[in-house]
Amino acid sequence: MSTVETRAGEYKMELTQEQLDILEGKKGETMAKVIKTVVMFGEIFGAKRLVPITHNSGHLVTSFGIGILAPLYRTMDELINAGIKVKGDFTVDPRPLDYKNVKCTMLEKLLFNKILYSKQEQYESQLKKVGLKDEDGFTCTCYLPEVGNTPKEGDILAWAESSAVVYANSVLGARCNRNSGMLDLFSSIVGYVPEFGLLTDEGRKASWKVYVNTTKKPEAQVLGSAIGMKVMEDVPYVYGLDKFLGTELNDENKSYLKDFGAATASNGAVGLYHIDNLTPEAKRCGEELIKPDAKEYIIDDAELERIKNSYPIMWKDPNKKADKCFIGCPHLTLQQLKDWTDKIEKGLKETGRKKVALTTVFTAAPGVVKEFQKSEHYPRLMAAGAKLSSICPLMYTNNPLTKKYNIATNSNKLRTYSAARFYEDDEMLAIIVGKEGH
């Protein structure tokens, strides 16, 4: 961090005496630089003030120790040397590596350890010093009960991981902008976040009315992709999904919305959606949430088919079969792991195979994995030859070496940011159990 001058009066934002004192260096020069960064970030977006973060746990997006991020490690050292930590604690996105469950060749290991993620150990030790919750805190689904970083309705947050932000806003009814990396950490340190966008009532209003007119429950990942690509960073209000999901936010619906939301956030830049009769604000405020000049988007079976067929196939050799598949981006819930186990077992019986037909990696939060390991499903999934990891599949797939594999996934986020090919759940299952034609 560069040296800063901290004079009151040079900011457009209204600041409290406490915030001005920090800016003026009363809590040290490093703290002054931290809050100044948060204030400057807010001023870019026209924030009028900083508001307190009300949830005790932050969540950071930067979980990987990429060698070239030298300024990040320097900044972390400066914070640590000044004795600065976050208020409360934080969880962080998944680790990029897990050699035990996601096997790598010698060459890949060399690339990961010496070049790509050469600073992983050092960075993790820095994370601990500034307030990482615990060893199990590495996941993008920090809000799941097994992880325990679950904000409540109305909470103000400063998270940056897009799939977690959209979930917290839409399903939990918390308030969070799509912040950038480091802003999530700096805001958690000062305990304040600039008030603009999705933190305001106006910013949470929908400028799109989306009508789901499909004949069956749409695949969450494709519906989310369609909406994301259409509305981009706007807020959509979605009609017609309650016909398939009902009006209760039960575990099944939360899993569906987790995957749907991650696709809206990655195929577009959605930070909040409302589902008529289902998500908390839509239930409470209904159509009051829709702006008068909202645009319309109608989604039917043909539109979903069009969207799916528009995905480019980036495999090096598209005529070859898939070599590996990743399921769990965002990380899976406990119930999703159990459901996949049941489906794979049944599918293998049908194809007469004992084991999965290709390297199949399921990814879930460490806390979810531990719970799953206690269940009777765990030995069954292992017996089928699948792997279970808490890795971030994107961090594994997005590099020149692993790009040579034909990687299949049911995640639209992974498809968007890597060369992985997207398949709907049923197609993915057919590939895993080795059904003919797949």
Distance from the Cα of residue 262 to its chain's centroid? 6
C-alpha 137/C-alpha 58 separation (Å) is: 11
Binding span for ligand F3S by CB under 6 A among 143-151, 201-209, 296-304, 329-337: 329-337
Nearer to ligand F3S, 20 or 229 (CB): 229
Q: Which residues contact 183 (CB under 8 A, 6 or more apart)?
A: 37, 38, 41, 158, 160
DSSP, collapsed to helix, strand or coil, labels residue 214 as: coil
Choosing from 393, 397, 409, 423, the residue that interacts with ligand F3S (CB under 6 A) is: 393
Which x/- pattern over 215-254 shows residues binding ligand F3S (rule: CB under 6 A)? ----------------------------------------
Please work out, in degrees rounded to the nearest 5, the angle formed at the alpha carbon of residue 434 by the alpha carbons of 433 and 438. 120
- 102 belongs to the binding site for ligand F3S (CB under 6 A): no
Enumerate residues 123-162 that contact ligand F3S by CB under 6 A: 140
User: Does the protein bind ligand F3S through residue 410 (CB under 6 A)?
Assistant: no
Annotate 160-185 with b (16+ C-beta within 10 A) or e (fewer): bbbbbbbbbbbbbbbbbbbbeebbbb
Among 165, 290, 392, 432, binds ligand F3S (CB under 6 A): 392
Compute the CA torsion angle 188, 191, 197, 200 (nearest 10 deg).
140
Q: In this chain, which stretch among 183-191, 193-201, 241-249, 388-396 interacts with ligand F3S, using CB under 6 A?
A: 388-396
Q: According to CB under 6 A, which one of 93, 98, 146, 219 is a site residue for ligand F3S? A: 93
Contact 375, 342 (CB under 8 A): no
Q: Does residue 394 touch ligand F3S according to CB under 6 A?
A: yes
| C-alpha closest to that of 390 among 418, 364, 356, 353 | 364
The answer to whether 163 contacts ligand F3S (rule: CB under 6 A) is yes
Q: Exposed/middle/buried for 368, CB within 10 Å: 0-12, 13-18, 19+? A: buried
Q: What is the distance between the alpha carbons of residues 82 and 46, in angstroms, rounded to a whole number? A: 30
Longest dimension (CA), the chain: 74
Binding flag, residue 270, ligand F3S (CB under 6 A): no
Question: What residue type is 435 in one-letter code?
Answer: K
**For residues 37 and 62, which CB has a smaller minimum distance to ligand F3S in the complex?**
62
- Which residue among 94, 131, 151, 224 contacts ligand F3S (CB under 6 A)? 94
Give yes or no for residue 58 binding ligand F3S (CB under 6 A). no
Question: Applying CB under 6 A, what is the total number of residues that bind ligand F3S?
Answer: 12
| 330 counts as binding ligand F3S under rule CB under 6 A | yes
Site residues (CB under 6 A) for ligand F3S? 93-94, 140, 163, 262, 329-331, 392-394, 413
